[in-house]
Amino acid sequence: MTTDKVKPKLIIHGGAGSSLKGKGGVEAVRKSLYQVLEEVYPMLLAGASASAAVIRGCQLLEDDPRFNAGTGSVLQSDGQIRMSASLMDGAMQRFSGVINVSRVQNPIFLAQSLQSSGDRVLSDYGSAELVRELQVPIYNPLTDIRLKEWMQERDENFVKEMAGVVAEKELVAESNAGRGTIGVVVLDSQGCLAAGTSTGGKGFERIGRVSDSAMPAGNYANAFAGVSCTGIGEDIIEECLAARIVVRVTDGMSLVAAMNRSFSESRDRGRDLGAIALDATGAIVWGKTSEVLLAAYHTGEQMGDTLEWIGDELTGFCPS
């Protein structure tokens, strides 16, 4: 960490998957992601902390019904929505999260509230009690498209392994559309890093299944780097992907090298996942083994995204 002002950096994602259906889908997702960048980056220029910017970015993504987090979350096999989210403040190296919480608008706010608690990760019952303690208004995150998606799968006896990453009318009937999560990683003007991740899960999963999004496997940050993951949660957990990348950077590897090595290993093991990352030098890096990564970033001079990134390369980056 440094006391000198640094140029803030920001990268966000809205999930990873197999395809976006046509240019219209790409442009709609790009518009959603850029709106978040355009609101959050000025906060950083005004001096907001990395954690505050992460929380705001996650809230905006959770409130966008296009993505599988907060409003627009997918339904589990019993037709219920259970969401998970976590926040990690890299300067304090403090992790907090909620698992399988229901009937709230913004799970990231619950994760934020646990930053100052001695008990920083709560499961479904604990999360429900926290909602009551905080007097969080009851909210139904269900959307018509997600309900229709679930009803189609119920009629087909849940033959799909997971729900669509993006909630679009034209994607409801498309099989294996992707894996949904949202995430934000920030480097603030004080040189501090933070990461946040939120998800509605895979969709159609067994009741009680736990996502990587409320684990250090899927969301991790310290003074050296921050990472938010997306994809198949079980694959991310088995790779311990976010923590593995951050530890490699902490041990002296560059972020680009750490991402390349981690994604090469993941590919060799047949994993289906993606990640966004920042380090303390301001390097912005992203990676995927899936076909599509729905990510966008702000360098301080310009915005860019990965929506049309295809090919054999496992990682991409903007140099610091």
Catalytic positions, written as ranges:
181
Is residue 274 within 8 A of residue 18, CB to CB? The reply is: no
CA 197 distance to own-chain centroid: 4
Q: What is the CA radius of gyration of the chain?
A: 18
In whole angstroms, what separates CA 106 from the centre of its chain? 13
CA gap 298, 40 in Å, rounded: 10
Identify the sign of the CA torsion 12, 17, 23, 28: negative
Token pair, residue 227, equals 């990472």
The owner of tokens 């995204």 is 305
- Four-residue CA torsion sign, 72, 294, 109, 164: positive
Residue 203 is classified by DSSP as S
Give the three-state DSSP class for 166: strand
